[in-house]
């Protein structure tokens, strides 16, 4: 079966800096792939590249984007536009800011259907019900300021999924929401992916979210894939020191709140300072001379797991 | 919606009253504004003629009722101002939306054009153009409309840049909306506030420009009345018949003042830094 979205060797540049460098991942229908990494790793612009809506400063310098087997890079913008919202949608972190303050909920959800009048209204009401919005007939007349963050994210999800796209890119969809709402939204995404066979790329910096929802993970560091594999494998046996540190930073049941939130020392370098060798070397506990000289290739670690670390076998 | 302050309501009431009087002029006017009578030349305000009735604001040099001419002139002023504001609003906002959305070279060209237009005194441009194409109601509207668009373009451009960076605009792009739809459905409503402030102050200016051009004989053509041409004709009788210049002057002053105060009030309402928000 061809993947719903297949990103191959994607490279993006800002000026001369290779912000995203040879990133590959694929998602199949009904599957949730988590794209994880700290802020500044290039997760969002990777998603923007897939939608072919890159910020002006960013250019795609290489790679292929296959949506249901079709090469997106080859499409004229007019065709691409018809795929957005229909075959591939995206939602973001600030759901309230993502709704036009001067349009009603009903109008905004209906826009993505291409329908009008009673047919649009029926479709919108049904979709709002499906994303767990009670009393949709009242909601469609409301303006964004009348919605809570969780409600607004449900509206965004309804808008994104109403045309039954093959792929949903969700960029930190729950980061701005409080914990209980976060869990509800993740459940909803999980359920919709399963029911409708939507492939979801869920972007997050939170391994907790990954554990909750994802089937597979791609860990990104400074514009490269550090490690990918099935969630269970990655959590049980990470094969990249960055993954191991992200997991160690995860608060565990029984830990004192906050106290255990270990942070990884240092920060993601600026794209202009990306090393030609291993980009994680400066923050890595396992670093050796080789890491500073040669970029580590992605290596098979068995059971569908790949790691880009010279010392993958020593990670624990 | 926030409640409007009393002063704003009062301004609105005065304006609406003037607009209503202007647009119903043919029906509420006590006399025919074009009917001449040499026997009734330059009668002072309040004169009574046994057959014609009262001339509340007096008569002009051709014996025409001044009140009727002022009401009828107001209609012309409002019509010219509204239509020319509409023309310049459409032209200016379209250019500003395009510049703010496309940016790059299109914006560079459009905004340089704006700078150029704004560096030429509009009234000079208007006078020259009317002198060339000849005065008429239509040429008045075209000239004013096509010289007064740059301020809208500036405001629309800056606001569009701001709104285009909003997540909800990005969200509509992600949902597959095209540029035209995004600009008309999502950008335009969100930049309408500042544009209305500009339109209001331009409306006041258009009233003044129309009066000015008509005063110079380049606007509304006689015998049709206009505040500018009434004052211009009354100029030679300032000593004998002060009412010919004073009453249209008061009308012009009150109207433009109300519009400008209303524009200021609107700007304060829209300004997030102003109190009461
Ligand atoms: N609109 C933009 N213009 C210029 N640089 C950008 C823009 N958006 C992101 N970047 C840069 O691209 C890099 C990756 O950013 P991003 O994809 O937002 O990371 P993440 O989503 O992983 O936090 C960062 O270095 C950021 O500064
Ligand atoms: Mg991001």
- The yes-or-no verdict on residue B27 having pLDDT over 60 is yes
Closest by Cβ to B176, choosing from A84, A91, A94: A84
CA nearest neighbour of B167 among B186, B195, B192: B186
Contact B146, B122 (CB under 8 A): no
Per-residue pLDDT band at B166 (split at 50, 70, 90) = very high
Span from the CA of A280 to the centroid of ligand 1 (angstroms): 18
Pocket probe for ligand 1: among A13, A17, A40, the residue whose CB has the most ligand atoms within 8 Å is A40
How big is the CA angle at A252 (ends A246 and A258), to the nearest 5 degrees?
A: 85
* C-beta atoms surrounding B120 within 10 Å: 12
Interface of B with A in 73-132 (CB under 8 A): 103
- The yes-or-no verdict on residue B81 having pLDDT over 90 is yes
Q: Which residues of A touch B103 (CB under 8 A)?
A: 56
Q: How would you class B85 by CB atoms within 10 Å of its CB: exposed for 0-12, middle for 13-18, buried for 19 or more?
A: buried
Closest by Cβ to B167, choosing from A83, A98, A103: A98
Span from the CA of B132 to the centroid of ligand 1 (angstroms): 56
Which residue carries 């002139």 as its tokens?
B73
Q: Which residues of A touch B168 (CB under 8 A)?
A: 97-101
Atom 18 of ligand 1, residue of closest alpha carbon: A44
The residues of chain A scoring below 50 in pLDDT are 259-260
Express as a percent the part of chain B with pLDDT over 70. 97
Say what the pLDDT of residue B277 is.
Answer: 36
Span from the CA of B107 to the centroid of ligand 1 (angstroms): 25
Whole-number Å distance between alpha carbons of A272 and B60: 79
Span from the CA of B117 to the centroid of ligand 1 (angstroms): 39
How big is the CA angle at A192 (ends A187 and A194), to the nearest 5 degrees?
A: 100
Q: Which residues of B touch A90 (CB under 8 A)?
A: 174
CB contact under 8 A, A98 and B189: no
CB of B189 within 8 Å of any CB in chain A?
yes
* C-beta atoms surrounding A296 within 10 Å: 21
Per-residue pLDDT band at B204 (split at 50, 70, 90) = very high
Whole-number Å distance between alpha carbons of B115 and B55: 49
Say what the pLDDT of residue B39 is.
Answer: 84
Backbone angles phi, psi at B274, to 5 degrees: -70, 155
Per-residue pLDDT band at B54 (split at 50, 70, 90) = confident
Express as a percent the part of chain B with pLDDT over 90. 62
Say what the pLDDT of residue A259 is.
Answer: 46
Determine the distance in angstroms separating the CA of A100 from the nearest CA of chain B, rounded to an integer.
Answer: 5
Whole-number Å distance between alpha carbons of A33 and A315: 23
- List chain B domain ranges: 6-30+64-271
- Which residue of A98, A168, A170 to mutate against B (max B Cβ within 10 Å)? A98
* C-beta atoms surrounding B259 within 10 Å: 24
- The yes-or-no verdict on residue B106 having pLDDT over 50 is yes
CATH of the structural domain B6-30+64-271, one choice from 1.10.3720.10, 3.20.20.70, 3.30.565.10, 1.10.443.10: 1.10.3720.10
CB contact under 8 A, A101 and B171: no
Whole-number Å distance between alpha carbons of A212 and A174: 12
Q: Which atom of ligand 1 is nearest to the CA of A39?
A: 23
Q: Which residues of A touch B166 (CB under 8 A)?
A: 97
Model pLDDT for residues B59-77, shown as the tens digit of each residue:
998 889 999 999 999 999 9
**Which ligand lies nearest the alpha carbon of A59?**
1
CB contact under 8 A, B171 and A159: yes
CB contact under 8 A, A101 and B172: no
Side-chain half-sphere CA neighbours of A49 within 13 A: 33
Side-chain half-sphere CA neighbours of A200 within 13 A: 31
Whole-number Å distance between alpha carbons of A290 and A307: 16
Q: Which residues of A touch B102 (CB under 8 A)?
A: none
Determine the distance in angstroms separating the CA of A58 from the nearest CA of chain B, rounded to an integer.
Answer: 15
Whole-number Å distance between alpha carbons of A123 and A57: 38
Q: Which residues of A touch B183 (CB under 8 A)?
A: none
Span from the CA of A104 to the centroid of ligand 2 (angstroms): 27
Whole-number Å distance between alpha carbons of A110 and A116: 8
Residue scoring higher pLDDT (B150 or A179): B150
Task: Name residues contacting ligand 1 (CB within 6 A).
Answer: A 14, 19, 37, 39-45, 55, 57, 271
Average pLDDT (B186-195) is: 94
CB contact under 8 A, B176 and A81: yes
Average pLDDT (B89-111) is: 96
The length of chain A, given as a count of residues: 316
Whole-number Å distance between alpha carbons of B2 and B151: 28
Pocket probe for ligand 1: among A14, A23, A221, A225, the residue whose CB has the most ligand atoms within 8 Å is A14
Q: How would you class A141 by CB atoms within 10 Å of its CB: exposed for 0-12, middle for 13-18, buried for 19 or more?
A: exposed
How big is the CA angle at B98 (ends B96 and B101), to the nearest 5 degrees?
A: 105
Prediction ipTM score: 0.85
Span from the CA of A72 to the centroid of ligand 1 (angstroms): 22
**Which ligand lies nearest the alpha carbon of A43?**
1
CB contact under 8 A, B190 and A83: no
- Which residue of B104, B167, B176 to mutate against A (max A Cβ within 10 Å)? B176
Which architecture does CATH list for A5-98+164-314? 3-Layer(aba) Sandwich (3.40)
Confidence (pTM) = 0.86
Average pLDDT (B191-212) is: 93
């Amino acid at each position: 079966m061809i993947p719903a979205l297949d990103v191959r060797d994607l490279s993006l540049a800002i000026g001369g800096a290779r912000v995203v460098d040879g990133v590959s991942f694929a998602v199949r229908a009904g599957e949730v792939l988590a794209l994880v990494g700290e802020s500044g790793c290039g997760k969002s612009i990777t998603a923007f590249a897939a939608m072919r809506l890159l910020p002006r400063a960013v250019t795609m310098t290489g790679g292929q984007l296959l949506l249901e087997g079709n090469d997106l890079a080859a499409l004229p913008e007019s065709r691409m536009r018809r795929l957005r919202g229909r075959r591939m949608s995206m939602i973001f972190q600030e759901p309230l800011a993502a709704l036009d303050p001067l349009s009603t909920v009903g109008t905004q959800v209906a826009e993505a259907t291409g329908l009008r009048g009673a047919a649009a209204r029926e479709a919108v009401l049904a979709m709002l019900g499906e994303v767990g919005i009670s009393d949709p007939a009242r909601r469609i007349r409301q303006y964004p300021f009348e919605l809570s963050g969780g409600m607004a994210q449900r509206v965004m999800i309804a808008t994104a999924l109403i045309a039954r796209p093959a792929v949903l890119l969700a960029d930190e969809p729950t980061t701005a929401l409080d914990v209980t709402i976060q869990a509800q939204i993740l459940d909803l995404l999980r359920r919709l992916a399963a029911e409708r066979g939507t492939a979801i790329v869920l972007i997050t910096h939170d391994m907790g979210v990954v554990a909750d929802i994802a089937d597979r993970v791609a860990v990104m560091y400074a514009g490269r894939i550090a490690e990918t594999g099935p969630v269970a494998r990655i959590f049980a046996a990470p094969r990249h020191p960055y993954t191991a540190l992200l997991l160690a930073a995860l608060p565990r049941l029984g830990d004192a709140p906050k106290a255990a939130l270990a942070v990884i020392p240092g920060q993601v370098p600026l794209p202009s300072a990306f090393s030609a060798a291993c980009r994680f070397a400066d923050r890595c506990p396992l670093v050796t001379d080789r890491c500073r000289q040669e970029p580590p290739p992605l290596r098979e670690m068995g059971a569908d797991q790949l790691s880009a670390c010279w010392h993958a076998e020593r990670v624990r | 919606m926030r409640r409007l302050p009393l002063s704003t309501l009062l301004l609105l009431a005065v304006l609406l009253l003037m607009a209503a009087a202007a647009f119903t002029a043919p029906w509420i006017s006590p006399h025919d504004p074009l009917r001449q009578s040499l026997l009734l030349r330059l009668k002072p305000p309040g004169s009574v003629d046994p057959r014609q009735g009262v001339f509340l604001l007096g008569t002009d040099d051709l014996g025409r009722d001044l009140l009727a001419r002022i009401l009828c002139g107001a209609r012309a002023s409002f019509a010219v101002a509204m239509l020319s504001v509409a023309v310049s609003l459409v032209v200016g906002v379209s250019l500003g939306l395009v510049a703010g959305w496309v940016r790059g070279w299109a914006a560079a060209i459009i905004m340089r054009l704006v700078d150029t237009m704004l560096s030429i005194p509009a009234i000079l441009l208007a006078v020259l153009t009317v002198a060339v194409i000849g005065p008429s109601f239509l040429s008045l509207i075209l000239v004013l409309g096509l010289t007064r668009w740059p301020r809208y373009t500036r405001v629309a451009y800056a606001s569009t840049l701001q709104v285009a960076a909003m997540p909800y605009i990005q969200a509509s792009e992600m949902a597959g909306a095209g540029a035209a739809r995004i600009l008309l459905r999502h950008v335009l409503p969100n930049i309408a506030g500042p544009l209305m402030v500009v339109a209001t102050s331009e409306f006041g200016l258009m009233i003044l420009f129309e009066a000015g051009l008509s005063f110079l004989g380049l606007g509304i053509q006689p015998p049709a009345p206009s505040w500018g041409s009434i004052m211009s004709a009354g100029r030679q009788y300032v000593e004998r018949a002060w009412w010919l210049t004073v009453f249209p002057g008061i009308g012009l002053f009150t109207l433009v003042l109300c519009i400008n105060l209303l524009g200021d009030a609107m700007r304060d309402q829209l300004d997030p830094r102003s109190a009461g928000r």
